[in-house]
Structure 1
Amino acid sequence: MKAGNGLPMLLTKNLNKEFLKFVISGGINTLVTYLMYLLLLLFFNYSLSYSVSYAIGIFLSYYLNSVFVFKEKVSFIKFLKFPIVYLVQYLVNLLLLYILVEYLQLYVQIVPLVAMIITVPITFLLTKTIIKSK
């Protein structure tokens, strides 16, 4: 059997493809929600603008991940479960920020980037679990 053949290689190839699509959809979602935030700032204060753009981001993220990343049908039940991903991501990020600043004494300006590198795979797995659930 040649190297690179078989089930493990197929799983890795599909996982990498899904993960790349996940990162792309996350970039699109971030751009759209940020632009929406800037647009809303023309009419509303920053907290309302952020809240509305964040909610729109949850809808957009669910749609992009369902249709583009995991090629699953959109489901109302799965959509209701989807905000759990954002809650877990927020809590893990908060914990990581605390550890990185207080114990590892990293600069507060860079810790969100470090936390994001750690939480993107976690977010990917949670999103995949919810969207691909039956």
Structure 2
Amino acid sequence: MNKRKAEFIRFIVIGGINTLNYYAIYMVVHHLWKVSYGVSHVVAFTLSMVASFFLNSYFTFHVKPTWRKFFQFPLTQVVNFTVTTICIYLLVEQFGMSTSLAPLFAIFIAVPATFIVTSKILKQGHSAV
């Protein structure tokens, strides 16, 4: 298997772990704390992004995390955040989907673009772990 394909598979696995992390935070904030779905999405997205940075650095791309990459990493998530936020809004407001299910559908739409951007940022001037 070529290196890029192996990275993509690891990215999907880490993405699955990160999705569970995101969704658990989202559900607690939205349903237990009774916060709106929009704010819950932002809180869960932000917290899970930190975990995603470290998991993708170490396990997906085998690069050493640095402060520079840490501060650049949110740029990789601009695509993800924009696509998921628009999708969640449309799925809930236009299609009547449950606020509990909409985030799960939105994540799958954003994955391919997020992989490309994440790979470019984390592998830029990389040193192996």
Asked if Structure 1 and Structure 2 have the same fold, meaning a TM-score greater than 0.5 normalized by the shorter chain, the answer is yes
1:70 aligns with 2:61: yes
Runs of 4+ in structure 1 deviating by more than 3 angstroms, as ranges, are 89-95, 112-117
Which structure ranks higher in relative contact order (CA pairs < 8 Å, sequence separation ≥ 6)? 2
What is the aligned partner in structure 2 of residue 6 from structure 1? Answer: none
1:19 aligns with 2:8: yes
Contact 2:63–2:122 (CA<8 Å) still a contact in 1?
yes
SS in 1 for 2:64: coil
Greater CA deviation, 86-95 or 62-71? Answer: 86-95
How is 1:1-134 mapped onto 2 (pairs within 5 angstroms)?
13-41=2-30, 42-46=32-36, 47-91=38-82, 116=108, 119-134=110-125
Q: How far is the alpha carbon of 1:30 from its aligned partner?
A: 0.7
The AA in structure 1 aligned to 2:68 is I
SS in 2 for 1:72: coil
SS in 1 for 2:2: helix
Instruction: Give me the CA root mean square deviation.
Output: 3.1
* Alignment gaps of 5+ in structure 2: 88-94, 98-103
Contact 2:84–2:106 (CA<8 Å) still a contact in 1?
no
* Alignment gaps of 5+ in structure 1: 1-11, 98-107
Q: How many residues align?
A: 111
Greater CA deviation, 120-129 or 20-29? Answer: 120-129
The percentage of counterpart residues that share the same residue type is 32
CA distance in 2, matches of 1:94, 1:54: 10
SS in 2 for 1:82: helix
Greater CA deviation, 34-43 or 77-86? Answer: 34-43
**What TM-score comes out, normalization by structure 2 length?**
0.69
Q: How far is the alpha carbon of 1:115 from its aligned partner?
A: 9.1
The AA in structure 1 aligned to 2:18 is N
CA distance in 2, matches of 1:113, 1:33: 13
